[in-house]
Amino acid sequence: MTPEYWNDAKKHLRKSDPVLKEIMRSCRDVDMESRGDAFQTLARAIVGQQISTKAAQSIWNRFAECAVDVTPAKVAALEHEALRACGLSNAKARYVRDLASHFATGALKPRRWAKMENEAVIEELVQVKGIGRWSAEMFLMFHLWRPDLLPVDDLGIRRAMERHFNSGRAIKKEKMRKIGERWAPYRSVACWYLWRSLEK
């Protein structure tokens, strides 16, 4: 199951950007899918902070195996060293347990988020330790399926835009946003294909 806007987004992106059209052609069988419930999606975002997509998936697989069932109660009960053994840093191990505690105690109320604006959700999420703007944006993209986000702080997006739009040179956030203007209102989908392009 993918977002209802997915096919419309692909048509728009193919028309608006020839470079992205070529990237999409090489990834044509790939569609964005949900990464689980609200807790799992946020936990994944924490795990993936400042590391490559491939490394994040490897650590997540070990983490999920350790937890057996990735629920707030199960994760909150894990020892710090068990989380460290999965490949999480000291900080990320603390953040994941803190996130689990917020869910388990009801401090976070995810049922409200579907009706809230992007910035309002981000403002609420960044109150949790370890969740900054990037993590909140990942949540909006992969759980709430908001169609028009461009996380300019994401390492993979930056690398992909440097490769495909800036001749391999370092790129500034302002230029990233400028390039992304042509993808609106489906910048989330454009980002999905940029991530996939790094796997080639």
Determine which one of 17, 29, 31, 154 is catalytic.
Answer: 154
Spatial distance between the Cα atoms of 163 and 183, rounded to a whole number of angstroms: 17
Region of 152 please: left (phi>0), alpha (psi -120 to 50) or beta: alpha
Active site residue 148: no
- φ and ψ at 105, to 5 degrees? -90, -10
Handedness of CA 179, 35, 79, 81 (dihedral sign): negative
3-class DSSP state of 168:
coil
Count the helices and strands in the chain (H runs, E runs): 12, 0
Give catalytic residues, as residue numbers. 154
